[in-house]
């Protein structure tokens, strides 16, 4: 199981993969910010 639960295969288009990757990165950065504030 990959991080985020997405299958590592060609089910998605490159655009969808890039968008999900960007969303995951933004989510990770937000989580890191929240963690550092505590």
Write out 1-38 in H/E/C secondary structure. Answer: CCHHHCCCCCCCCHHHHHHHHHHHHHHHHHHHHHHHHC
Q: Which residue has the higher pLDDT, 7 or 24?
A: 24
Using the 8-state DSSP alphabet, how is residue 19 labeled? H
pTM: 0.36
Residue 37 has pLDDT above 70, yes or no: yes
Q: What is the Cα–Cα distance from 38 to 11, expressed in whole angstroms?
A: 38
Mean pLDDT to the nearest integer, 18-22: 72
**Average pLDDT in the chain:** 70
Q: Which residue has the higher pLDDT, 2 or 28?
A: 28
């Amino acid at each position: 199981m990959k991080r985020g639960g997405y299958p590592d295969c060609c089910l998605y288009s490159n655009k969808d993969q890039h968008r999900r990757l960007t969303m995951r990165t933004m989510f990770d950065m937000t989580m890191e910010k929240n963690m550092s504030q505590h």
